Amino acid sequence: MSLLQGIKKTVASLSLALLFAVEAASSPLHLTGNWSQPYGDDSDQWKLGQSYNLDLSNDLTSALRMSANMRYTTNKKKDSADTETLSPSVLIGLNNDLFNLSLNGMENRRKVEDEPTTINRSWSTTFISSLDERYWPQLRLNYSQNTTTDDASPKTSDQQSDIFDSSLKYKWRFLSFLYDFTNSIDTNKIEDTENENTNHSARIQWQDTYWNNRLSVIASHKYSHDKNTITATSGSSQISRPLLPSAGITSLDDTPSNDPLASEPALIDNDLFTPTGVELLQPTETVNVGVQINLESFNELVFYLDREIDATTQSRLSWSFYGSLNNDDWSPVTTPTTIIYSVEDGRTLVTVEFPSAVENLRYIKAVVTSTAGVSTAFITEIDVNQLVTLAPGDSSLTTLTRTHLSQGSISFRPWDQWNLGYTFNRNDTDSDSRSQSLQFNQTLNSALNLNRYFALSMSVTETTDDIEDQDTIKNRSYALSYRATPLNSLSFSLGGTRTEHFIDSSLNSRSDTLNSHLSATLFPDLTAGLSANWTRSQDKENNEETTNWDYRFDIAARFTDSFNLSASYTYRDNDDGSSDNNYEINTVYRPSTYISLTTGYKRNDATDNLYSTLNFRLTRKIQTDFRYAYLKADTTVQSASFNLTWNLSTIFNLRQSLAWADDGEEQTWSGLTTLNYNF
């Protein structure tokens, strides 16, 4: 009997024993369901999804705990294939004063009608020492195995992943040490490829305070050594090599050339089925979603969705792609792309193919707009693949990546009102598969806060980005700001910033900014603010200079406990002699806890935008909202939506949605009825 077979039989026996050990009085069985019926111009087939969940747990002793779970889900859709999923799992945990030991196993069987059953099995064991960390090192060991296959003949999927990772950390006074080791082997028996990654990393950190906590010092250095070997036994000269993004990123932003994206770890967690918070179909928003790839060249992006979207919905999606070195300044990827929609395991995959490798980017993102009505679809995962060409006669390719990361900060407080600080971050990466790079960031700052009448802060920041065979980019900024609060109802600030952009030590551009802000509470229910900004930009390369200034006036008033109003006016004077005027007013009327009306109006030199939302709670269990938007620019666009939510009982919940839009050329409407139940 093999080790894996023995573990499976042990887990099965323990699970059976656990079933008899659970008290009958508990209620471990739950049923949840969802039925939906779309209609209108975005009409689709009705859907019915149900989930049966059985949870069992028991403390066999004070140190030994067992838990098991059995989940069965079924999804039916008119004129489409039915989907069934069966997922049993078991966890055994042993805890004491010396160590924590856990063993868990899971199997997931997914059956799509008239298609092979996909089978995913995984098990793992983890050991963590629990000795007093003040005197003893902390040890962590983990081994996991995952297999994915199907019951087709011949098989269409047959993959296995084995991962071993360990860490050892120790702290002695002001010094701390950490060592990590990870080895993973991914085997694809269909394509006859094997991808092995080995990582060693070590970090030492010094952290201490002196002179009664007036001086604090933190310094650390981390070295990482990554080795990747991809092997093809099929004789193919080209292999698709999966990359390992270091971060998933996302935001809702209609200015894709600027602004950073926020972290979204669930986009790269290897869970292809659980939806993230990134909804792809948002008619009123521009979705930005991507990954951090750290200068690795790539040929393909794959976006996994949590459900199948039809051809009509696909045609209403617009894709574009942007790359960046700093997750702030983005440039369009001009390489033509081929976008392929496919269906796998009952959900849609969006594959983006680039005819040539995209190189020298730290970040890549997709910018997606949609006019898909009330339909929804969430991204579950993003994969990045690189097309590798093997040398003649070779069956494998090995790449090494070495990274040195140094960080430090010093903070000195001569007295309570004055603080000085310095921080730096240096990242030096050398790799066989991408360009060598050096990133160095440092900041010197000072803050003097004497009293409410005088608070002064200054900082100097410099960032350097040096990529092999590319121009060295350096940005340096100087900032000075003054703040005062002479009265409890009056505050004032004044600041200035100079930013310089260098390319290979030559000044390429310079920007100077002055800003001021005054805010006052005129009456307890009336506040006002005035801001003024002046900017001068100099392009040294083209010998051009532009100057802009703007001011903004804001006011907010609470007329009654149920009626609030806010308004603003912004004036901008452009260098070309033109000017922009922007007006905005918003009101909130809430006469009771059952009804509220929010209305807004925006106007500038090119557009008029009116929008309103009415929320009306008919009863404690029935909630409605009505939204209307009117936009007048080159064309007139109107949209309206109605939503009703009715909690019929503690078990049933009903939701009705309607949407209508008129873009001046075509009118569309759609609806969605959804019934949820939970026993």
Residue 9 identity (one-letter amino acid): K
| Opening angle at CA 107, ends 376 and 265, nearest 5 | 45
The confidence score (pLDDT) of residue 576 equals: 79
The confidence score (pLDDT) of residue 519 equals: 96
CA atoms within 13 A on the CB side of 657: 15
Copy the structure tokens of residue 49: 């999804």
- pLDDT tens column, 94-139: 999 999 999 999 999 988 888 888 899 999 999 999 998 888 999 9
CA atoms within 13 A on the CB side of 218: 10
Cβ 33 vs Cβ 676: under 8 Å: yes
The confidence score (pLDDT) of residue 464 equals: 94
The confidence score (pLDDT) of residue 650 equals: 86
The confidence score (pLDDT) of residue 234 equals: 67
CA gap 552, 495 in Å, rounded: 16
Q: Where are the alpha helices (DSSP H) in 265-352?
A: 311-315
CA gap 627, 640 in Å, rounded: 5
pTM greater than 0.85 (yes/no)? no
Q: SS3 breakdown of the chain: % helix, strand, coil, rounded to 5?
A: 5, 70, 30
Cβ 89 vs Cβ 104: under 8 Å: yes
Cβ 474 vs Cβ 458: under 8 Å: no
Residue 633 vs residues 145, 605, 607, 641: alpha-carbon distances, Å: 58, 10, 5, 21
What burial letters (b/e) apply to 163-198, b meaning 16+ CB within 10 Å? Answer: bebebbeebeeeebebebebbbbbbbeeeebbbbbb
The confidence score (pLDDT) of residue 372 equals: 61
The confidence score (pLDDT) of residue 45 equals: 66
The confidence score (pLDDT) of residue 614 equals: 95
Q: Which residues contact 631 (CB under 8 A, 6 or more apart)?
A: 607, 608, 609, 610, 637, 638
Q: What is the mean pLDDT of each run of 10 residues along the chain (679 residues)?
A: 40 41 52 80 70 85 90 81 89 93 94 86 96 92 95 89 96 94 93 91 96 95 94 75 90 88 92 87 86 92 90 88 92 91 87 92 93 77 89 81 96 94 96 85 96 96 91 94 95 96 91 96 94 94 90 95 96 85 95 93 88 92 92 84 91 90 81 86
Domains and CATH numbers, the chain: 3-163 (no CATH), 255-379 (2.60.120)
- pLDDT tens column, 613-631: 999 998 889 999 999 999 8
CA gap 47, 78 in Å, rounded: 7
Q: Which of 464, 559, 448 is nearest to 504 (CA)?
A: 464
Strands 608-617 and 47-59: unpaired
